């Protein structure tokens, strides 16, 4: 090949079949993880029964999983499908920082949840004191995780990499580490601090929980107290989440250890290329799948989360039903308003046809009982008492008796007509 000949760099790194397979697989995990973890966050925020210390820690775990789905999954997919890094130097630094921070926050939250279950089952009295500090524990978890992720902001950058040395005719932009001690940083932070030590703590705590459960039959077999059964059920649920995390992340850490420990002179083998192009995207997808499976585990083990998820699913229907009910109520109120105006108009006509001095042999009665007063005070079409509404009572054989205002009506139900000959008779249009 001539030096003047230009070599074009392929935009897509993978074959078409793998490109489609990875795109579909990552998209499925994104949809499942986004909806599931969003429902967990909303359920704990809105549901009153999900306010325990364990629920707050699960909220932190769901928030970390949601960040992984929203920020880490898209960048991981782009890095596996495209030959060059497309998000620039800032995108490279932020992507690696968020990836490290969220993964550390997830495993540290699992340690906190395990400690929570250990205190709840093995040291109930101490647990009551610890349960008042979940917010401080969550803040500490995220602060330590961010501190462990800060070196990635310094150590990672977008670089121009010669794919065809030594002539340098084919150059690609890559997001890679620029540290010389990258292996030791990965081994210390990612493997030991953020994986091996947390799982050792988890194993010890669950061993002590198992020992306590076995030695106390009231907890293991004869558990008739609801609180004790709930504690064990939550412990089983979180143990499933921990096993899910271990199975999904172990292959990726093992593969990275293989990459670091392989001699540079032996990286041109078929297995190394297969591991780099096929196994790495597959194992990264598996680690992301862990964040999507956690909400399904909550639903499978916890009736509270099933009830909360069910209420969230029915929330749009409930809002539509409430809107329909209010519209129906407004329509009914409008109909009652028209009917009230019609009755008042009829009463006005009948009353005006009667002579004050000559009572007809029929009775027109407009009186208010105590219950009617409350109804009139709520009716927007009836003059309210502060406006000095006038009420009338007209019956043959008893004389014309009527009141002039609300207060007079309450003090005395009638006045003699001789004292009120010139009093106006008003009741919403009646004069």
Looking at residue 164, its pLDDT comes to 64
Query: H/E element holding 296?
Result: helix 280-301
Q: What string of DSSP letters covers 378-390? A: H-TTS--GGG---
Contact at 8 Å (CB) between 285 and 25?
yes
Q: Where are the alpha helices (DSSP H) in 87-188?
A: 88-122, 124-130, 134-155, 182-185
Cα 402 to Cα 12, 355, 358: the distances in Å are 94, 14, 16
What is the reported pLDDT for 159? 85
Joined together, the tokens standing for residue 243 give 């096993």
Reference 193, options 65, 100, 318; nearest CA is: 100
Mark 373-392 as b/e (b = at least 16 C-beta within 10 Å): eeebeeeeeebeeeeebbbb
**C-beta of residue 75 within 8 angstroms of C-beta of residue 68:** no
Contacts of 249 (CB under 8 A, 6+ apart): 103, 195, 287, 290
- Residue 36: burial class (beta carbons within 10 Å; 0-12, 13-18, 19+): buried
Q: Can you list the residues of the chain whose pLDDT is less than 70?
A: 1-8, 131, 163-170, 216-230, 316-322, 324, 332-431
Q: What is the DSSP letter of 415?
A: B
Q: Which of 115, 112, 122, 298 is nearest to 210 (CA)?
A: 122
How far is the C-alpha of 354 from the C-alpha of 394, rounded, in Å? Answer: 10
Helix axes 303-353, 16-46, angle to 10 degrees: 60
pLDDT at residue 7, rounded to an integer: 57
CB-based contact 292:31 (threshold 8 Å): no
User: Which DSSP symbol is given to 8?
Assistant: P
How many CB atoms within 10 Å of residue 85? 21
**Angle formed by the axes of helices 88-122 and 73-81, to 10°?**
130
pLDDT at 415: 42
Q: Measured between alpha carbons, how far is 41 from 66 in angstroms, rounded to an integer?
A: 9
Q: What is the pLDDT of residue 171?
A: 74
What pLDDT, on the 0 to 100 scale, is given for residue 409?
Answer: 45
User: Domain spanning 16-301: which superfamily?
Assistant: Rhodopsin 7-helix transmembrane proteins (1.20.1070.10)
Residues in the chain: 431
| pTM value surpassing 0.75 | no
- Give the residue extent of every domain in the chain: 16-301, 318-419
List phi, psi (to 5°) of 140: -65, -40
Measured CA to CA, the distance from residue 234 to residue 53 in angstroms comes to 12
Quote the pLDDT of residue 314. 77
């Amino acid at each position: 090949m001539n030096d003047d000949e230009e070599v074009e760099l392929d935009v897509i790194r993978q074959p078409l079949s793998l490109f489609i397979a990875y795109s579909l697989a990552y998209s499925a995990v994104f949809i499942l993880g986004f909806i599931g973890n969003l429902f967990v966050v909303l359920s704990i925020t809105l549901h009153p029964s999900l306010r325990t210390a364990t629920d707050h820690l699960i909220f932190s775990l769901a928030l970390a999983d949601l960040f992984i789905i929203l920020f880490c999954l898209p960048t991981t997919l782009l890095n596996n499908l495209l030959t060059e890094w497309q998000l620039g130097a800032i995108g490279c630094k932020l992507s690696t920082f968020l990836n490290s921070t969220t993964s550390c926050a997830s495993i540290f939250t699992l340690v906190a949840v395990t400690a929570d279950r250990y205190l709840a089952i093995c040291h109930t009295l101490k647990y009551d004191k610890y349960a008042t500090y979940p917010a401080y524990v969550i803040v500490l978890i995220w602060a330590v995780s961010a501190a462990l992720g800060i070196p990635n902001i310094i150590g990672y950058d977008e670089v121009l990499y010669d794919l065809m040395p030594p002539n340098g005719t084919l150059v690609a932009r890559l997001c890679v580490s620029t540290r010389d001690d990258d292996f030791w940083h990965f081994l210390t932070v990612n493997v030991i601090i953020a994986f091996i030590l947390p799982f050792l703590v988890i194993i010890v705590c669950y061993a002590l929980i198992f020992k306590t459960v076995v030695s106390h039959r009231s907890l293991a077999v004869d558990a008739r107290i609801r609180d004790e059964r709930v504690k064990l059920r939550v412990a089983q649920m979180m143990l499933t989440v921990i096993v899910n995390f271990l199975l999904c992340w172990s292959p990726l850490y093992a593969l990275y250890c293989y990459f670091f420990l392989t001699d540079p002179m032996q990286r041109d083998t078929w297995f190394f290329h297969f591991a780099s192009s096929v196994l790495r995207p597959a194992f990264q997808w598996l680690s992301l799948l862990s964040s999507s499976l956690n909400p399904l585990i909550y639903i499978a083990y916890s009736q509270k989360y099933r009830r909360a998820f069910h209420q969230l699913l029915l929330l749009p229907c409930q809002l539509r039903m409430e809107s329909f009910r209010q519209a129906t109520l407004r329509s009914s109120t409008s109909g009652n308003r028209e009917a009230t105006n019609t009755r008042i108009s009829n009463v006005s006509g009948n009353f005006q046809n009667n002579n004050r001095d000559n009572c007809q042999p029929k009775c027109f009665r407009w009186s208010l009982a105590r219950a009617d007063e409350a109804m009139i005070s709520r009716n927007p079409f009836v003059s309210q008492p502060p406006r000095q509404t006038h009420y009338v009572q007209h019956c043959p054989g008893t004389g014309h008796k009527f009141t002039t205002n609300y207060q007079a009506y309450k003090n005395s139900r009638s006045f003699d007509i001789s004292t009120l000959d010139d009093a106006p008779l008003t009741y919403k249009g009646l004069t």
